Structure 1
Amino acid sequence: MAFRFRNTIRLAPGIRLNLGKRGISVSAGVRGASVTLGKNGLWGNVGVPGTGMSYRTRLSGSPSHQRRAARTQQRQNAQSRLESDALASFRPQLDEKGQVSLVGQSGQPLPPVQCQQVWSEYADRMASWLESEMDSINGDMDLLLNIHHDIVPPDSAIPDYEPEPFTEPAPIKPERERRPTRPVKPELKLRLWDRFIPGRQQRLLQAHEQAHTQWQFDLELWKNACLQIDKTYEQQHQQYEQQVAEWNYAWAAHQQQEEQQADAFHDQLDKDQSLIVEILTAELNELDWPRETVVDFDIDLNTRAVYLDVDLPEIEDIPARMARYGARNRRLLIKQKSGRQLREEYAQHIHGVVLRLTGVVLALIPGVERVVVSGYSQRLDEGTGHINDEYLLSVQVDKNDFAQLNFEQLEQVDPIAALERFDLLREMTKTGIFRPVEPIELLA
């Protein structure tokens, strides 16, 4: 099948666990951008190629994402704790029937008494390990079946321009240098007996006269030093006032430039197709996603439409077994899924994928009025023996119709029924068997 659209992104599977700072790279040479978790979810600052600008966009921070990330992190932490200490003396194993056995360092099964001791002393960690084993069998069914729980209302995640901070430090106000201590004027002290000792009074008078002369000299030096300190401070203060005026001017110019940049960004966001492609690509890269998925897309600003072709996962990507806790939560009950259950789960997943991608586009890109999503899969042509790409569904969604979904109660939304409310091309039986359809073409 020839690619219909110019832009391609490969969505990598995984739950984004890092709820602190992380970077988003939208193209080579763009400065790194940080993401912080706020009260309204995850927000990221991303550089706009070739402009020196960055924008702020809401990433995958829905309650469903928070629960998945927290559960995954808790499971990983519990597994690490179990491996760090408990596994020094034993190792749990799970067989195909869901039975748990414990073996020692030598690989030999532990006797019943020791097994009972392990289950008693390491109850929480064994429960976490068993839950992890159950999740390995069930796979990420919650994300597969409920991927549409993360959608947000139209226009609710339109990027905001992120102003560059004014980094020039403010001038530091000078401090007046402390004045030296004023010289103390000497005093003449003559005692009564100084007059009766020959020559003593005269010597004291001469010494006082010399001290007074030195004091006068020191006083002049002190006055000059104080004048110099005052003069220096006055010069520094004048320089400071000039620097403050220049700093205020630079700050005002920066603010004006940032306002102009913000206006330019919002103007670009409405008509610059390359910018919209970069932002949409960065946003899609941050989604919780269960299976690797290739998405080709195009943006038609003239008709205010976005087109996506989605290479859907295969039904073989749905876990074929399911597990639940058994007796006393010390074993698992493992069951093979029926063909019909697999088909129904696959149908719910691919409808959810289409709904989720539609929601991202309508929430992120202002001015888009409709989204056309077509999903295809690889199917065997029994007549030729070749694997061909066949479209399983194609839907056109208008923004106003999409806004009618109850975004506060998405767990009540059936993605299959939701897509049927729109202009949907699809041939699917009640048991989840798809027949190929022709995709919706670009609007004139």
Structure 2
Amino acid sequence: MGFRFQKRITLFPGLRLNLSKSGVSMSAGPRGASVTVGKNGVYGNVGIPGSGLSWRERLDKPSGRSRSRNEGHREQGPCEQAPSLPPMPTSAQARLVGNGIEIVDGYGDPIHPAHLSNLKAQMRHQIRDFLQANAIARNEATEALRRLHHDIPRSVAPAKPSGAGKPQSHDYPCHGEFMEALMKWRADQANSRSDDSGVAEAVLNALGALDWPAETNIALDASNGRLLLDVDLPEIEDMPTARWNSVISRMELAEKAMSQKDIAGFYLDHVSSVIVRLIGHSFASSSAIRSVALSAYTQRKTATGRLSDEYVATVSVTREAWGTVEVSQIHAIDPHNLLRHLGANIDTNARGVLLVQTPLS
């Protein structure tokens, strides 16, 4: 968005009204020689067009206070040229560099320091909105870790046979025998229920297609309609530890540290969201899955300081029990409360630290 800081309105030839941040003044006279009347007094202006040379002298008498304040200062002579100052840019924009605001002109070039205070004053509302929007965006990325389960599909994919045992042409002496074996295999697959390999393949494809913001490793086993998931969760040390606020007075974004209790609560929400997401996508991947048994662990330091895998959550859910969940309203469901409703073992101590559980097998 551009910002214009001065506008001249021609009233009639030789007379102009000048509007700027410093106030309103009026100029009279031809180009190169004019008289300006404004709140700072009456000035005569003489300049040679195109040369950059000009002379300016006050024509009225300044007040006594002004005279004493300027006393001792040498007046600029008619042949002396004031130090050059780049003109005020006709447009400016704010951008975020690191956590602070940088103001540049419309071409992205730096602005002379002498103009920055005026530009910041002119753009204060835009800068405020810009900082607030960036703080919200950063905090939203953090909050997304609690809402991973919001993408659970409502529909369930039909069971599909796996590709295991499919005839390969190089295993047969002639094309005719290969086609005969292939047709028989296809008929057998069409008349049979999905096998365990097909279930595992469907789950792997479904979970592998998801975007995971933090590293989450999964091992699975499918047997007779029961899916067993073993989940390596992100550590609590991987969780955000601060939130962002916009500080308008300093024109920057600042971090506000979260308490240890808040971090522990955030971690519980994230773990619960991960588990609900895995269960929901697993059931949706294949109608052959009749139950999901999940155990989740994380690496934590023991009393001796060594890292150890500790299971912190387990849950076993049947398709019938999952069918009671209103997936269309999943965005309004608290994942931790849902897991407790489904009979999960996921508890914390008084400090919010997840307690150790016995894994399922």
Same structural fold, with TM-score higher than 0.5 when normalized by the shorter chain: yes
- Contiguous gaps of at least 5 residues in structure 1: 1-86, 162-256
* TM-score normalised by structure 1 residue count: 0.48
The aligned counterpart of 2:223 is 300
Distance in 2 (alpha carbons) for counterparts of 1:418 and 1:348: 11
Distance in 2 (alpha carbons) for counterparts of 1:158 and 1:107: 62
Q: How does 1:23-422 map to 2 (within 5 A)?
A: 91-95=95-99, 100-102=101-103, 105=109, 111-116=116-121, 123=126, 131-132=133-134, 134-136=136-138, 138=139, 140-153=141-154, 156-158=156-158, 270-301=193-224, 304-325=225-246, 332=253, 334-383=255-304, 385-422=305-342
Letter in 2 for 1:111: L
The 1:100/1:91 distance shift into structure 2, 3 A limit, reads: closer
Question: Deviation string for 1:203-236 (max 9, x for gaps)?
Answer: xxxxxxxxxxxxxxxxxxxxxxxxxxxxxxxxxx
Letter in 1 for 2:137: D
Q: Secondary structure at the match of 1:278?
A: helix
Larger radius of gyration: 1
Question: Deviation string for 1:372-400 (max 9, x for gaps)?
Answer: 111100011122x2111110111111111
Q: By percentage of residues, which structure has more strand?
A: 2
Sequence identity, in percent?
25
Question: Deviation string for 1:43-80 (max 9, x for gaps)?
Answer: xxxxxxxxxxxxxxxxxxxxxxxxxxxxxxxxxxxxxx
- Contiguous gaps of at least 5 residues in structure 2: 1-90, 162-181
Letter in 1 for 2:348: M
* TM-score normalised by structure 2 residue count: 0.58
Pairs aligned (count): 246
The 1:267/1:421 distance shift into structure 2, 3 A limit, reads: farther
The 1:399/1:420 distance shift into structure 2, 3 A limit, reads: same
Q: Secondary structure at the match of 2:227?
A: strand
Q: Secondary structure at the match of 1:111?
A: helix
The 1:148/1:378 distance shift into structure 2, 3 A limit, reads: same
The 1:321/1:139 distance shift into structure 2, 3 A limit, reads: farther
Letter in 2 for 1:115: K
Query: RCO greater where, 1 or 2, for CA within 8 Å and sep 6 or more?
Result: 1
Letter in 1 for 2:294: V
Calculate the aligned-residue CA RMSD, in Å: 3.7
Letter in 2 for 1:355: V
The 1:292/1:107 distance shift into structure 2, 3 A limit, reads: farther
Distance in 2 (alpha carbons) for counterparts of 1:285 and 1:129: 36
